[in-house]
DNA sequence: ACTTAAGCGAGACGGTACGTCCAGTCTTCGT
DNA sequence: ACGAAGACTGGACGTACCGTCTCGCTTAAGT
């Protein structure tokens, strides 16, 4: 997202190199303000520059505008790709699903996804990029589902991609936006997985 | 959302009454810009006033700020509460689910939801209001599900609210944001309903 | 120099009229800073706006840039067209010449002409404008000289325009720039006039 | 004006000596931009560095700021001290006066003086320096005038310094700023000298 | 030949001011 | 009293330069 790396890795660019300290200070300032729960429109370039102790030009040298900076900052918070125990299909899915949309300790609250969602919706580049970020996580769930199909636990004709969507979308909307206020979120992951696996139809 | 109605319905306010033409022109301007696919942040009060041929104060007299205006405008596009034929549970659900997040002719593209999503996420008032708007639609689906439970077609212990979430969330995210690009959207409603009803587990 | 007057004097512009108070505050701020002896390049639009308690846009609505504003402010200091007693040619000329380039009480120091000189030199529009400003003053001297010629006191073939230049240029350069540091300025006006009248050649 | 020479002339500084090529390139860039008629405020350090193909630091190593650089560059254009034939007082004065403020071939137009005038007015150091530059030229005229006095051609009580001012100021203002647009400049030097010598009073 | 020391082009650094745009408010006139 | 028009203060925008500071690289002089 930042300036592309040099084509020739041997030849470094002329002139004074960019300061890693400044870069970090900027990203930290952004994450700090998000974590402080500041309204997203209050996170201005000027306030970021002031908080980071950095000139505005130093920001604009790296990011073309505020949105890219915020997105990049959030993206820099590396979320570890989750691992699964492999005990059972249900347990693995609950483990994975319960992590979707969960606020993590660095990007300390749900504001982060609130920032990202609209940008992703509008910015095709960002959308593509975001897909790349979550694809590894999606891949883990995909693997679990595929193994379920191979083992005969899941239906042979299961559309894995639709399944992924059905597992993640409820978690995302509910966690970031409290989409349906009548839903109790304490056991949502289990409920989603169980409904997904068992279906709604009455047995027999 | 607009200015509260007069306390005494008999006594009309003195002076020149507000022009319905202005109000309509403002709302039309907003909807027009949304339909034109303008980026949401380009829809400024000034541009709205210019397009509507109206003074800024005339807008502020009616709405407290830009977000409320946009939301109100979008909300004014009356979406008819869908009706169901009542033939079968599956057919009814597909009818309802396929309408979720569908762009309609007045708010002519998916931009509308893109505008609303972040606002809803951040603005508690708006969130409450939005619940009220979609609650009637939700209620229809809720009714269908409840009848399914009563008839014994659906599990007795089905959590209807979670079910609603599982039916709508995938449609919303996929339709407005192409959340999972690997998903084919041509039969998504059917797939979501069938997965929801039948579950993913292999029979037997 | 400010926005041109309306073509039709009857029809006033729509909308809120510009505030005379703001305009005065801006001009006062500029003159104040000049009088304070601030370096000319320290008189920035931002500092003017702050001192005048005015938004920057209010300044830019009236003047296209800093230079025009400063010039206009200085120009607004109405210098009274001098009058002459008419006693004698010599006395009248001394009266007039001694006023050229003299700092006056409102534009309280020589900085003013220092500001204007380079602008005049570079900006043709300003040059034209400045000519109009000083023309009335020049006209008074011109009248005195012409009467001198008519009365036969001055040479019949005197080039009045060259004469004006010879009377004013030494005063301007010496007063604003101390052009020749070896010149004693205390009786400069008298000396210039006497040299001009009597010439340098030895009598006889 | 450049960095002071070493205290001990024998001991040259260690390290790589400054490049004469760079120095020349910088000065040439400045003179070129002036000659191109660029507005003085467009001649920035950055543009100079770019045009000269030189780093900014290389400029700052030699001159403390833009003004000094511009002045130094202009000053480097050596104007030859004029010589006089000594035929007659009038002819000598016309020779000298006609050269005042005349654009020369290197500093190719009147812009140069336009650049210098305001700086001189504001910067006392520069003022002193400028006096030194023009003093030799002034001295020639001073010599001619003094000889005129000694020979009895000019009045015994002539104030030579005031005379210098009266001869040069009209030429400067008219040549660099077209001070009085009504003045025909084609014979200005002759007119000034003749007026100066003969005075304006009618004979007899 | 090798070290030392300053020069070099390049360009990033923290800043300041620019001139523009919009927010939300206020003030005018005409309806 | 509402209408439009548009001026008001305020503040962020993204750009341009300032004068300073690294970078890796020459270029000499003194070992």
Residue nearest to nucleotide E3 (CA to C1'): D15
Average the pLDDT over D3-10 and give the result: 45
Residue nearest to nucleotide F14 (CA to C1'): A60
pLDDT on residue B166: 97
Is the separation of the CB atoms in C74 and C34 below 8 Å? yes
Q: What share of chain B is helix, strand, coil (3-state, %, to 5)?
A: 60, 0, 40
Helices marked H in D2-123: 20-35, 45-52, 56-60, 66-76, 89-99, 111-122
Please tell me the distance in Å from C115's CA to the nearest CA on chain D.
Answer: 8
B113 pLDDT exceeds 80?
Answer: no
Residue B201 β-bridge partners: A154
pLDDT above 90 coverage of chain B, percent: 44
Average the pLDDT over D127-151 and give the result: 90
Of A106, D64, A168, whose CA–CA distance to B174 is shortest?
A: A168
Is the separation of the CB atoms in B45 and B56 below 8 Å? yes
pLDDT on residue A1: 43
**CA B26 to chain CA centroid, nearest Å:** 20
Instruction: Evaluate if the CB of B21 falls below 7 Å from strand E.
Output: no
pLDDT on residue D204: 63
Kindly report each contact of residues A116-120 with a partner whose C-beta sits within 8 Å and lies 24 or more positions away, as own/partner. Answer: A116/A71, A116/A74, A117/A176, A117/B117, A117/B118, A117/B121, A117/B177, A118/B40, A118/B114, A118/B117, A118/B118, A119/A67, A119/A70, A119/A71, A120/B177
Nucleotides of E under 7 A from a protein CB: 4-31
Of C79, C71, C137, C81, whose CA–CA distance to C105 is shortest?
A: C79
C54 half-sphere exposure, CB direction, 13 A CA radius: 27
Could you report the per-residue pLDDT of C111-160, keeping only the tens digit for each?
566 666 766 776 666 777 778 878 888 999 999 999 999 999 999 999 99
Gap between the Cα atoms of A144 and A195, Å rounded: 17
pLDDT on residue D151: 93
Tens of pLDDT along chain A (204 residues) come to 444 444 455 567 888 999 999 999 999 999 999 888 777 888 999 999 999 999 999 999 999 988 889 888 887 876 777 888 888 999 999 999 998 887 665 544 455 666 667 667 766 767 887 888 789 889 999 999 999 999 999 999 999 999 999 999 999 999 888 899 999 999 999 999 999 999 988 876
Gap between the Cα atoms of B27 and B22, Å rounded: 9
Is the separation of the CB atoms in D193 and D100 below 8 Å? no
Say whether B183 and A165 touch across the interface (CB within 8 A). yes
**Partner residue facing D154 (CB), from C120, C184, C201:** C201
B144 half-sphere exposure, CB direction, 13 A CA radius: 27
Average the pLDDT over B4-10 and give the result: 41
| A/B interface, count of CB pairs below 8 Å | 159
Find the helix packing angle between A160-177 and A89-97, rounded to 10°: 40
Gap between the Cα atoms of C17 and D35, Å rounded: 46
Q: Which two tokens stand for residue C162?
A: 């060259």
Gap between the Cα atoms of A131 and B181, Å rounded: 8
From the CA atom positions of chain B, what is the Rg in Å? 21
Is the separation of the CB atoms in D131 and C181 below 8 Å? yes
D10 half-sphere exposure, CB direction, 13 A CA radius: 0
Say whether B122 and A114 touch across the interface (CB within 8 A). yes
Please tell me the distance in Å from A67's CA to the nearest CA on chain B.
Answer: 12
Say whether C172 and D177 touch across the interface (CB within 8 A). no
* B33 sits in which H/E element: helix B20-35
Q: CA dist C101 to B36, C176, C178, D26, Å?
A: 62, 7, 12, 37
Of D27, D76, D77, whose CA–CA distance to D52 is shortest?
A: D27
Longest CA–CA span in chain D (Å) reads 76
pLDDT on residue B19: 73
Q: Which residues from the 25-44 window of protein chain C have CB within 7 angstroms of nucleic acid chain E? A: 42, 44
Closest residue, chain A, to B165 (C-alpha):
A170
Q: CA dist B197 to A13, A161, A166, D105, Å?
A: 60, 17, 12, 93
A123 shares contact with chain B (CB less than 8 Å): no
B195 shares contact with chain A (CB less than 8 Å): yes
Gap between the Cα atoms of C84 and C94, Å rounded: 10
Question: Which nucleotide's C1' sits nearest to the alpha carbon of D61?
Answer: E7
Is the separation of the CB atoms in D200 and C163 below 8 Å? yes
Gap between the Cα atoms of B111 and B126, Å rounded: 18
**Partner residue facing A169 (CB), from B117, B169, B182:** B169
Average the pLDDT over D11-37 and give the result: 87
Is the separation of the CB atoms in A59 and A69 below 8 Å? yes
D124 shares contact with chain C (CB less than 8 Å): no
pLDDT on residue C138: 92
Is the separation of the CB atoms in B126 and B74 below 8 Å? no
B134 pLDDT exceeds 80?
Answer: yes
Kindly report the average pLDDT of chain D as a whole number. Answer: 85
Say whether D114 and C120 touch across the interface (CB within 8 A). no
Average the pLDDT over B40-44 and give the result: 84
Q: C203 contacts in D (CB within 8 Å)?
A: 155
Is the separation of the CB atoms in D45 and D58 below 8 Å? no
**Alpha-carbon torsion, ordered D45, D46, D48, D51, to 10 deg:** 170
Question: Which nucleotide's C1' sits nearest to the alpha carbon of A45?
Answer: F12
Band of pLDDT at residue B114, cut at 50, 70 and 90: low
Residue nearest to nucleotide E18 (CA to C1'): C45
Higher-confidence position of C104 and B156: B156
Q: A120 contacts in B (CB within 8 Å)?
A: 177
**Partner residue facing D159 (CB), from C172, C179, C191:** C191
Average the pLDDT over B61-71 and give the result: 86
pLDDT on residue B191: 97
Residue D201 β-bridge partners: C154
Interfacial A residues in 79-98 facing B (CB < 8 Å) = none
pLDDT on residue C118: 65
Residue nearest to nucleotide F23 (CA to C1'): A16
pLDDT on residue B102: 77
Of B97, C167, C56, A87, whose CA–CA distance to D183 is shortest?
A: C167
For A44, other C-beta atoms within 10 Å of its C-beta total 12
Residue D12 per-residue DSSP state: P
With the C-alpha atoms ordered B172, B177, B183, B186, is the resulting torsion angle positive or negative? positive
pLDDT on residue C152: 93
C23 pLDDT exceeds 70?
Answer: yes
Of C149, A129, A58, A157, whose CA–CA distance to D200 is shortest?
A: C149
D149 pLDDT exceeds 70?
Answer: yes
User: Neighbouring chains of B at 3+ CB pairs within 8 Å?
Assistant: A
Gap between the Cα atoms of D22 and B170, Å rounded: 67
From the CA atom positions of chain C, what is the Rg in Å? 21
pLDDT on residue A2: 43
Band of pLDDT at residue B157, cut at 50, 70 and 90: very high
Average the pLDDT over D153-166 and give the result: 96
pLDDT on residue D11: 57
Of B99, B97, B182, whose CA–CA distance to A163 is shortest?
A: B182
């Amino acid at each position: 997202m930042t300036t592309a790396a040099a084509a020739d890795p041997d030849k470094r660019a002329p002139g004074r190199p960019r300061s890693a300290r400044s870069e970090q200070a900027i990203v930290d300032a952004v994450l700090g303000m998000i974590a402080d729960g500041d309204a997203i429109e209050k996170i201005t370039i000027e306030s970021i520059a002031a908080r980071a102790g950095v000139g505005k030009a130093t920001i604009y040298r790296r990011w073309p505008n505020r949105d890219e900076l915020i997105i990049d900052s959030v993206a820099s918070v590396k979320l570890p790709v989750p691992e699964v125990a492999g005990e059972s299909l249900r347990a693995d899915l609950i483990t994975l699903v319960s992590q979707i949309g969960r606020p993590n300790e660095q990007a300390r609250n749900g504001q982060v996804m609130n920032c990202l969602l609209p940008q992703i919706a509008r910015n095709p580049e960002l959308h593509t990029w975001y897909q790349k970020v979550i694809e590894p996580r999606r891949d883990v769930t995909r693997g679990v589902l595929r193994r379920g199909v191979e083992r005969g636990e899941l239906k042979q004709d299961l559309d894995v991609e639709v399944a992924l969507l059905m597992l993640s979308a409820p978690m995302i909307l509910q966690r970031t936006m409290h989409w349906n206020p009548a839903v109790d979120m304490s056991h949502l992951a289990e409920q989603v997985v169980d409904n997904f696996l068992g279906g709604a139809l009455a047995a027999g």
